Structure 1
Amino acid sequence: MIRLFRAALLLLTLAGWPLPTLSQDIAPIQQVLQDNRDLIEASSRRTIQPAIDAIRDSDLDAAPLVLEKWEAREMWQRKADGHFFYAEEVDRDTLDVFDFATAESIGQFPDDDFDQLKPNSGIRALIASALVRFQLGDPDPARRMAALTALARNGNESHLPILRDAIEDETDPAIRAQKERLERLLTISFGATDEVRVAAMDHFRGDLGVDVRAALNPILATRTMVVAGDSPPGDINVARELRPGSDALSEEAAYALLVSNGMAPARLTPQDQRNALSANLADGAVGGVPVGDLSTTEARDRAYEGLVLAGLAPPAATGEEVEAALEAHTFYDQYAEPSATVTDGAREVLRSIERKVGLHQFLDLTLDALSLASIYFLAAIGLAITFGVMGVINMAHGEFIMMGAYTGYVVQQIVPDYTVSIIIAIPCAFAVTFAAGVAMERLVIRWLYHRPLETLLATFGISIALQQIAKNIFGTQARPLTSPGWLDGALVFNDVVGISYIRIAIFVLALIFLGFILFLMKKTRLGLETRAVTQNRNMAASMGINPDRVNMLTFGLGSGIAGIAGVAIGLYAKVTSELGQDYIVASFMTVVVGGVGNIWGTLLGATMIGFLQKGIEWFNPSNTLAAQTYMIIFIIIFIQFRPRGIIALKGRAAGD
């Protein structure tokens, strides 16, 4: 059936009948396409621009549609008369063909009657540039913003007048500001005069946008050049002169530049020289030099020169010739930008930006340090209570953090709403780890008071056992503890400073717990008894306080707080059986540095360690293990000078 249809269509064409859906009067957009038919058919990136410009500048309503379909490779040319249409494939052999002028279907035809236009990536980029003119004035703000985004990536000189015209017609203040910013950025690279380009740069003094640095850095890009004589040419923009052998340019790199420019022969290495001399040994001599005389460098050089003159070896430079060649030439970095006015302006603006970037990097580092300090505070506050009151070195404290994180994971499996599950997980984690802490104190710790070594070994064994139990229950793979959707993303102040919402939530949680612990210790009977036992256990017992009960509740409280810390830490860290091991050392350091048994000391200790770790990582960002090592060394030194910590414990127990 399709073959009969094609045959009938061909007979109609040969008989001179007008083709279906082709009007006798050619539409204006079709006329533009026919006027540029040869260029479109040739489809060469070097010659296609006039055809694209003709469509873009035709001011016809159909022009954007033509460019969009052409770029999308949906434009077809009818073989019978060369007219252009856009089409959609109905099936493997049939096209639904549309007229550009009316955007209406003219029918379905066999695809053999049409040729598909398949512009390459270069031509498609040119078409996309032409489309910007229409997209920047699109009624839809989202499409205008999308056009600006595309223009920021691939803008060129031809877009400047289009962008300036679009600014005048823009009614949305935010989009207008974005257009003005992009116009200045393009002016930096493609402005008509040096003064115009420098004026555009001045608008960005102290601007922290990455796009500004992306526009300015290429202007200051350099390449190393060499010229014979004592100085660079006077008509070029020189960034700096270079001395071979300096940090900026080694002698090897300098001479390699001479060789690559054909200004000196390749360097003669001792091995190459020996190979050439050995290969040309004849009648007890090489290059006219007796073999017995080749014991010196000068004789070997003369022999090699003789081989070069005889055509038996390639020309090569000796050490003295290399030095002479380096002395006879001047090396310098040359700006790719020919105008010194423009490079001076770019350098000055970049300096102002770098100063501001440095300040904001410090602010960003401060936020990171505060965030890390809040994590360490949450992890250590429970240990500060148990260690300060009971003097017990609990090596299983990290496993209580791990248990809290796994409790949060289990709750999320039951309650799929992440916000509700986190709210439920916090008291559940406290209850689970509180019970585990009380059980541990009743079964193990109470029998080992005043025996620190045995306590350390026992809790270390419990730590290993708890890790293995977690592996048996949950496996070795990391389990996800998903944060609520409202904690996704980050609070971004600019292109330099930002902090994730999860970190902010943990920081707020740390402040809440600080207030809770202070209230507990200052305003409740348990806090009063805890402080009494901390300062003088015997005196507290003589006043009717049960130290054994206080120890039990205190250990349970510290363990419960560690469980809540586990839920918070699990929101951004991998929940595995080894989770607690990542924080146990930092927790002990926080407690010892801050002052054993003191809440404010724990806060100051966490802050000090957080800032110290982030500061060391800033100086050595590629090696976090080395940063942790340096931090531990610093803390050891600190303890030598202040063994009781930042805030020393007061009372008779302080002297124990």
Structure 2
Amino acid sequence: MKTLLLALCFALSLPTWGSAQTTSVQDVLQSQRALIEQSSRRTIGPAIDAIVASGLPQMQTVLEVWQNKDMWQRRADGLFFAATKNADGTYTLQSFDDGADAGNAASADLDQLKPNSGVRAMIATALVQFQLSDPNPAKRVDALNSIARDPEAALLIPLRASIASETDADILVRKERLERLMTMAYDSDESRRVAAITEMSGDLGVDFRATLNPLLATTRVISRTKPDANIAQEVIAGSDALTRSSAYALLVDADIAPAEITADARDAALRANIEGGRIAGFPVAQLSTEAARDRAYDALVASDLAPPRITQADIDASLSSFRFFDVYTASSQAVTTAAKAAIASTETRVAISQAADLGLDALSLASIYFLAAIGLAITFGVMGVINMAHGEFIMMGAYTGYVVQIFVPNHTASILIAVPLAFAVTFAAGVALERLVVRWLYHRPLETLLATFGVSIALQQLAKNIFGTQARPLTSPAWLDGAWVINDMVSISYIRIAIFILALLFLALFLFIMKRTRLGLETRAVTQNPRMAASMGINPDRVNMLTFGLGSGIAGIAGVAIGLFAKVTSEMGSDYIVQSFMTVVVGGVGNIWGTLAGAAMIGSFQKSVEFLNPSNTLAAQTYMIIFIIIFIQFRPRGIIALKGRAAGD
């Protein structure tokens, strides 16, 4: 009651802060002198309440000085001061009322107040009420953080009082939200609590749900009649929600029914009554069966040497005499009704947000797979070459970006340089691979597979020899840091957005090359009928070389993009080669739109499996492979089948 009265006094005094005061700081401190001197967590509460309730603006300084162990008491008269140590070992005293110099004193004439951690925590809570209106925005933010970590009903009134004078827009939003949450939890006015809950209904914030959940918490109550309380539901003994054994156990725990005699309790009673090798006239040697022990125990019961066993009829009688209710912790039915409606609305929005977040994750993963597979769609899909070194071209592109960043520390400039340079490096590597290896193995898929697999191993080892086995950083520009936060549950990193945009750009670039350029025309001609194309003056060897180089160059650019969020190692290409081949095969060999559809399907399926089984990411890979095996049984040519010569191969 005393604390409530002090809090009321504090609230009433808030409008007068800064006006002339009839009570000095020293008067308030002296009125609480005994408690301050003792400074115990168990007893200091009234003293802190009195300091806060005084309404004196200087009390914030008093509490801060006290909390920092810089408050001293003069032994001669018991007055309290702030003090600073001088070079000669004496202390200069400052008055708490006006900050004026109150003279010097030797350390022997002063006692330093050293509050323990418990008292400092209580002072910190009291300081929050002052800091909410502190001119320093940082202190106001600290006060809000402190309230959010450890909310108390006593802080609701000063929090409300500070809202009207708040000038910072961001802090004002935080204050208003925190006030709504604390109103739900602590306000004594039922209508205000219901209004706050209704106003925030459907909010996705974790703090909102954390505030509502305690309001809907229930305790199980045993009563002969319906209790006068806010009842959530009556639970019937013997139902799925409360089995008969669990219901009777509740009666036993409440000491309103005798406990059942277990086998261990029976045996303990038998051991306690052994006399001369017998128990109630039964030889101990004959009590080797459960039935014999039960008869011996019943004999003890008949002699009043043990409590009687509880029969099924006794349990039925006890259960029929009592009813079981789940009672809300919150006593107001209007509050719990509003809370249930708000939670239901929130859960609906949570489900929608989870679906949206899952969709964004799937889209992001699909764009990564598309970037990794678009080059393979050219070399494998268009040319029919199984290039197992495609992943190593991705790795080469990532390492190219790393090397550029060594010489160009500006991350934005380095990425802009790395993208065309990675294309050039991997284009040249692709042309070299086609001229030296692949051109001799056309229409020999097994030999091509083995040869390019050997090249991939050689490139991995070369990367290890040059860069080592440790992962290398490929740092993204500062403007790609962070994430686009839609709400508390839906967000996507800016790097993923950039990769998605890059995938769209490459889709447009590939379509332009294939549909609007001479190389694209010649590539399509060679793909459809190489002999006819050769008779029309097209050089199939040159087209194959440039096409293979184009696919390899795009893989290099994909490596730069993937390296911005994934580890750059010599093995990074092997992490994407399988998914790249699956993307091309599922989408439809030789069709860029099919590659896009395949990437979307595989990305969506993998993220869906990870959502259903988040603790086992390996399961997603396994299920994805099984899904693809089943899928190609029904669509062997993929989602979008290629027409023409390749379709008949």
Q: 1:86 aligns with which of 82, 88, 112?
A: 82
From 34, 42, 66, the counterpart of 1:70: 66
Question: How far apart, in 1, do the equivalents of 2:185 and 2:299 lie?
Answer: 55
Change (3 A) 1:554 1:35: same
Alpha carbons of structure 1 residues 323 and 97: separation in structure 2 relative to 1, 3 Å: farther
Give the % identical residues: 66
1:529 aligns with 2:528: no
The counterpart of 1:361, out of the listed 342, 354, 360, is 354
Task: Give SS of 1:382's match.
Answer: helix
Given that residues 536 and 653 in structure 1 are in contact (C-alpha distance below 8 angstroms), is that contact kept between their aligned partners in structure 2?
A: no
2:222 counterpart of 1:227: yes
Q: Encode CA deviations 1:423-456: one digit per residue, 9 max, x unaligned.
A: 1221222222222222222222222222222222
Secondary structure of 1:526 counterpart: helix
Rate the CA distance shift 1:433–1:253 in 2: closer, same or farther, 3 A: farther
Q: State whether residues 393 and 455 of structure 1, in contact with CA within 8 Å, keep that contact through their aligned partners in structure 2.
A: yes
Give yes or no for contact 1:27–1:101 (8 Å, CA) kept in 2: no
The letter of the residue matching 1:627 is A
RMSD across aligned positions (CA): 3.2
The match for 1:647 among 632, 640, 644 is: 640
1:161 and 1:62 map into 2 onto residues whose CA distance is 20
Query: So what's the TM-score if we normalise by structure 2?
Result: 0.87
> d(CA) in 2 for partners of 1:344 and 1:122?
38
| Structure 1: distance between partners of 2:374 and 2:303 | 85
The whole-number CA distance in structure 2 between the counterparts of 1:512 and 1:147 is 48
Distance 2:450 2:312 in 1: 68
**Which residue number corresponds to residue 160 of structure 2?**
164
1:496 aligns with 2:479: no
Select 1:211's aligned residue among 207, 212, 230.
207
The 5 A counterparts of 1:504-653 are 504-653=497-646
Indicate the SS of the match to 2:593.
helix
Match of 2:32 in 1: 36
Contact 2:389-2:453 at 8 Å conserved across structures: yes
Partner residue of 1:201?
197
Pick from 370, 374, 378: which aligns with 1:377?
A: 370
Give yes or no for contact 2:376–2:584 (8 Å, CA) kept in 1: yes
1:568 to 1:81, Cα distance in 2 relative to 1, 3 A? same
Deviation (angstroms), 1:494: 1.4
| Structure-2 residue corresponding to 1:126 | 122
Structure 2 partner of 1:431: 424
Deviates more, 1:137-146 or 1:592-601: 137-146
Letter in 1 for 2:178: L
- Other structure's SS at 2:111 match: strand
Shift of 1:348: 0.9
Does the C-alpha gap of structure 1 residues 192 and 555 become closer, same or farther in structure 2, counting only changes over 3 Å?
A: same
Partner of 1:15: none
Give the letter aligned to residue 227 of structure 1: I
How far, CA to CA, are the matches of 1:568 and 1:108 in structure 2? 68
- CA distance 1:620–1:330, change in 2 (3 Å): farther
Alignment partners' CA distance in 2, 1:257 and 1:151? 38
CA distances 1:261-299 after superposition (whole Å, capped 9, x unpaired): 445566665567567767876666545445676566444
Pick the aligned partner of 2:177 from 175, 181, 199: 181
Distance change (3 Å), C-alpha of 1:639 and 1:320: farther
Q: 1:468 to 1:87 in 2, by over 3 A?
A: farther
Alpha-carbon separation, structure 2, partners of 1:107 and 1:573 = 65
Counterpart-to-counterpart distance in 2, 1:320 and 1:538: 95
SS of residue in 2 equivalent to 1:604: helix
Could you tell me how far 1:310 is from its partner in structure 2? 8.1
Q: 1:331 to 1:111 in 2, by over 3 A?
A: farther
Is the Cα–Cα contact under 8 Å of residues 527 and 645 in structure 2 kept in the other structure? no
- Of the three residues 85, 89, 96, the one matched with 1:100 is 96
Change (3 A) 1:571 1:259: farther
Three-state SS of the structure 1 residue aligned to 2:233 is: strand
Shift of 1:615: 1.6
Match of 2:218, as an amino acid? T
> Aligned pair in 2 of structure 1 residues 41, 558: CA closer, same or farther (>3 Å)?
same
Relative distance call for 1:96 and 1:550 in structure 2 (3 A) is farther
Does the CA-based 8 Å contact 2:221-2:327 persist in structure 1? no
Q: Which amino acid aligns with 2:216?
A: L
Q: Is the 8 A contact 1:597 1:649 kept in 2?
A: yes
- The residue number in structure 2 matching 1:337 is 330
Q: How many residues are matched? A: 628
Q: Distance in 2 between matches of 1:322 and 1:475?
A: 74
Gapped regions of structure 1 (runs ≥ 5): 1-25
Q: Give the Cα separation in 2 of the matches to 1:321 and 1:418.
A: 79
In the aligned structure 1, how far is the partner of 2:203 from the partner of 2:494? 25
Q: Is the 8 A contact 2:401 2:414 kept in 1?
A: yes
Q: In the alignment, is the contact (CA less than 8 A) between 1:88 and 1:96 conserved in 2?
A: yes
Find 1:457's aligned residue among 446, 450, 466. 450
Q: What's the secondary structure of 1:494's corresponding residue?
A: coil
- Deviation per CA, 1:66-114, whole angstroms, max 9, x where unpaired? 1222223322222332222223456896655433234356566554443
SS at match of 1:462: helix
| Partner of residue 113, structure 2 | 117
How far 1:574 moved relative to its partner? 1.6
Alignment check: 8 A CA contact 1:374 1:506 kept: yes
